[in-house]
Chain A
Amino acid sequence: MYWVLIKAGLLRKKIRTVLTVLSIATAFLLFGMLHSMSAVFTGQMKGMSADIIMVMPRYNIFGTQPYTTFEYVKSLEGVEKVSHMTMLTSDMLGSMFDGVVFAVDENYFDVYKRFQVTDEDREAMRLRPDGVLVGRLLAEQKGFKIGDKVRIKSHSMNEDGSYNWEFEVVGFYTVQVYTGDEIGIIANYKYVDDSRVSMKGTTSYIIAKVLSPELADGISTKIDENFKNSDRATRTGPENQMAMEMIGQFGDIELVINLILSAVFFTILLVTGNTMSQAVRERTADLAVLKSIGYGDIQLFIMVMLESFIIIFTGLILGLGLTLLAIPLIVAASQGMAEDGIFLSTSSILLAFTIGVFVSLASSFIPARKALKLKVVDALAKG
């Protein structure tokens, strides 16, 4: 019974229905895309452990810190293993796609368990000072093989007086999750430090594995307190929190996303509410006739509510469907970097459906009540 009447209502003004559905689909596409990237924005990337802390220069995330800071962190109680890495690059954004060279010490793979390498490749790197391990994804993209030369330009001057650095591929590494980390090249810190003419004995980031996640905050505070007000002040914290802080350099992205989404859904609420009110107003005579031939008040109330649900949920399914289609395209465009970082989680889908229910109820309640309260005699008298 309802379907015939709802279909009649939806088809009465086809263009208006289509445009309303499209505007809702656009809102949910925006919702889906922003939520798909929320892992990146909120620092909840898969694979990041709460028992790994990062020690960074406090005032310049691309700056360096002395090796003595590394020694200090290593000496702290509760710290199980420590490693460090130094970025050897001149163009951060460009190298994100071409491969950042990280000079690391021998403990790196013991601290960072999600980075995986075979014993043979690790040994090959240890035996060859200028040997590097290339991330799987980067190797696939650039076609690197064992024995290939990797040449980069760096901000660090080499012993020969140039800024050109050359390495040899001796193996490969993979990353258990967050494959964007496979766009990288891992070199021997000792070789890089010995070869550069400036900034010797410094490192970019220190990474420490603590005995348990509960210790992470205390140790982080202790490190920051120790170097407070010095020229080597640090910023320390669990790695997911630090990743978020790095992105936070560009502003409070999560807040911006939430504000955008709130504005979008408020607009959708108004658009749908207006559409439903208009639809009911235009159909006053139809509703009066339906009541006169025996349709009850509650039946017409439900009919208007269902009509709104169908409009909202068609838009919702279309919007989220487009999101799911767009994600592989974005991952492909990012050359695989975003493979684990962009995904539409079950909780995001559930949230979208909750919003859908709320918007449907809120936008249709007043028009539906109007249909419920409509007096047949008055409506027929008005024509």
Chain B
Amino acid sequence: MSDSLVSVNAVNKIYQRGGEKLVVLDDLNLEVPKGDFLALMGPSGSGKTTLLNLIGGLDTPTSGSVEVDNARLDTLNSRALSRWRASHVGFIFQFYNLLPVLTAFRNVELPLLLTKLSSSQRKEHVETALNIVSLVDRASHKPNELSGGQQQRVAIARALVSDPDILICDEPTGDLDRETSTEILNLLQVLNRDHGKTILMVTHDPMAAEFAKRILHLDKGKLSN
């Protein structure tokens, strides 16, 4: 059993495009201790998002093992992965991906609908999450009534609400201006520092990467410091 929260061992991810094999991750190893804030950088097509997807249980490796919080994700089937994701990981996407017809409150509540929590318990959790991202006063607003930064904060609250061990952020500031990006990155730092969340963030932006504790570069499927 590893001491790391995330342990990626000898992972290969190969896509078959026609008759050609495309090696996206090449015998990759990675250890992420609990409480880490890791930024993954690299050129487009280097495999950053693929690595995040493997760690987030959205995809499975061609070979090798992915272990997160003592769970071997590469051995789980689709149904077990869904269950695992619901309680262990929170996703933050570049384009927020909120459901447009639901209010901020309802969007944040979505992961909790899969749990056995009562309505009042869910309300309590949602309010706590919205409080962390300072958006309690916007709970009844729909995404189109919020700014880009606010929408991303709602997405962060949605990722936080089920109290996951790890937050997976794929270009979380890619669609935001510099000032708002800084706000979001500060928020991620707070979540890492004060709430103990382990964060894995993919970014193209060196300034954003500076907010992380550690920066790794990925190129042609291989990691480097």
Contact = CB atoms under 8 A, between A and B. Distances in A.
B78 A12 contact: no
Interface string B110-130: 110110000000000000000
A294 interface: yes
B97 A289 contact: yes
Contact of B93 (A5, A377, A380): A380
Interface in B85-136: 85-87, 90-91, 93, 95, 97, 99-102, 106, 109-111, 113-114
A127 interface: no
The size bracket of the interface on A is: 20 to 34
Interface stretch (B51-59, B179-187, B190-198): B51-59
Contacts of A68: none
Contact of A289 (B82, B93, B114): B93
Contacts, number: 67
B59 A292 contact: no
Q: Is the interface of A mostly helix, strand, loop or mixed?
A: helix
A255 interface: no
Interface string A293-319: 111111000000000000000000000
A65 to B, nearest CB: 72
Given A12-B101, A377-B58, A295 B114 contact: yes
B80 to A, nearest CB: 10
A289 B98 CA distance: 8
B79 A296 contact: yes
Nearest to B86: A294
A16 B91 CA distance: 31
B83 interface: yes
Interface residues of B, number: 29
B58 A294 contact: no
B22 to A, nearest CB: 14
Contacts of B78: 296-297
A381 B114 CA distance: 25
B86 A293 contact: yes
Interface string A1-32: 10011011001100000000000000000000
Contacts of A12: 100-101
Interface of A: 1, 4-5, 7-8, 11-12, 285-286, 288-298, 376-377, 380-381, 383
15 contacts: A1-B114, A8-B106, A11-B101, A12-B101, A285-B97, A288-B97, A292-B58, A293-B91, A293-B158, A294-B82, A294-B111, A296-B78, A296-B82, A296-B83, A376-B59
Given A7-B101, A292-B58, A293-B110, 15 more contacts: A4-B106, A4-B109, A4-B113, A5-B113, A8-B102, A12-B100, A12-B101, A285-B95, A290-B110, A291-B82, A292-B56, A292-B91, A295-B82, A295-B86, A296-B83
